[in-house]
Amino acid sequence: MVGCDYLPFSSWMGGGFTGGIFSLLFWGLIILVLVFVAIKLVGSVKSNKTGPFRDQNDSLEILKMRYVNGEITQDQYAKMKDVLLQP
């Protein structure tokens, strides 16, 4: 018996039933990893767009609520708003 090329599991990546399954699993795993990486990259890009601007908007909303609730005066509100809007 020199070579058994007729066996369905004669090679790992090509030929035969078992080789086809391993090839399918291998490429499926590669595709899943690429999709996962793409989702993570898109998520990080979206979160970076609203970073500092979101903080400034939240701070202004808190300041407005404090003024509306009577916790600070109009002068205090104007001074704090100027500080928050500085570049």
pLDDT tens-digit profile of 63-84? 999 999 999 999 999 999 998 8
CA distance 18 to 24: 10
CA distance 49 to 46: 5
pTM assigned to the model? 0.39
CA dihedral 56, 58, 63, 69 (to 10 degrees): 170
Residue with tokens 């100027």: 82
pLDDT tens-digit profile of 17-63? 566 788 888 999 999 999 999 988 887 666 555 555 566 678 889 99
Domain edges within the chain: 1-49, 50-87
